[in-house]
Amino acid sequence: MFKRASSFFILSTVLFLAGCAGLGGDSVQNEAGQPFNADQLPAQEELPKFSAETAREGMPNGWNFYRIAPFKKNTVYRLESYQGKTVLSANSKTSASGLAVKLRPRQAANLFLQWEWKALSPITNADNADGYTDDAPLRILVAFDGNKSKLPLKEKMTFEMANLISGQEMPYATLMYIWSGKSPVDTIITNAHTSRVKMIVVDSGWDNLGQWHKHQRDLSADYKRAYGEAPGEIIGIALLTDTDNTKSETRAFYGDIELIRKNQK
């Protein structure tokens, strides 16, 4: 059972949820660190590829920086040339922030999320099943739309709080694929503060650090397993490397993240 967190930590979590799909008011910033309304962001048809760019400082084209909360340090992301291709590096030192893409809504049926990533250093004290030590070297988030009117009162209040704080609405539901230090692969973990975020462990432990891990996930099947219902439209993708709760450091690489539509058999 999750420990009861302080209202200060809950506030930071709500700010994170409001920004996690590039949809969150002051949580979204430009390269100069200036906040702007996420409604100004164009909805994109495809996820921009890191491999299509050259190594440089600054935000990858098409991706938007978001802060979890003003009092948290920012993870440093940059495009690096690594093993003959451009990848996104993440360097986190007691920090938590991410990158997000607002997508033109699309049906989840027959849609697969494909990516590769590599963790270079462990977060030894991280435990994603504990809200106080919920950190990960690698996370990819998928935001879904849906009918919020049927949610329990507690969740509606969480949505209203997020809207008041950020000026934007939370996604109806979020799948978060993570590299977990302790939880076994295929474990589904409910976020400590809202049932509208489900973490799915796709890599576990620290024995395979320094190796590229490739994944392809059936978004509709994963959503049904996590939430027990058919998914709504997908509206955004985000990534996050964080070490703020464990007050530690980590370094990781993200390769290209792609949405692939497969024909029904």
Q: Where are the domains of the chain?
A: 7-261
pLDDT of 31 higher than 90: no
Least reliable range by pLDDT among 24-38, 64-78, 201-215: 24-38
Least confident piece of the model among 1-5, 14-18, 168-172, 188-192: 1-5
Q: Does residue 32 surpass a pLDDT of 70?
A: no
> Residue 46: pLDDT above 50?
yes
Q: What DSSP assignment string belongs to the chain?
A: -PPPPPHHHHHHHHHHHHHTTS--GGGEE-TTS-B--GGGSPPBSSPPPGGGS-SBSSPPTT-EEEES-TTSBPPEEEEEEETTEEEEEEEEESBEEEEEEEEEEE--TTEEEEEEEEE-S--TT--TTSTTS--BS-EEEEEE---GGGS-HHHHHHHHHHHHHHSSPPPSEEEEEEEESSSPTT-EEE-SS-TTEEEEEEEESSTTTTS-EEEEEEHHHHHHHHHSS----EEEEEEEEE-TTTT-EEEEEEEEEEEEE----
- 164 vs 87, higher pLDDT: 87
According to CATH, the topology of domain 7-261 is Jelly Rolls (2.60.120)
| Average of per-residue pLDDT values in the chain | 84
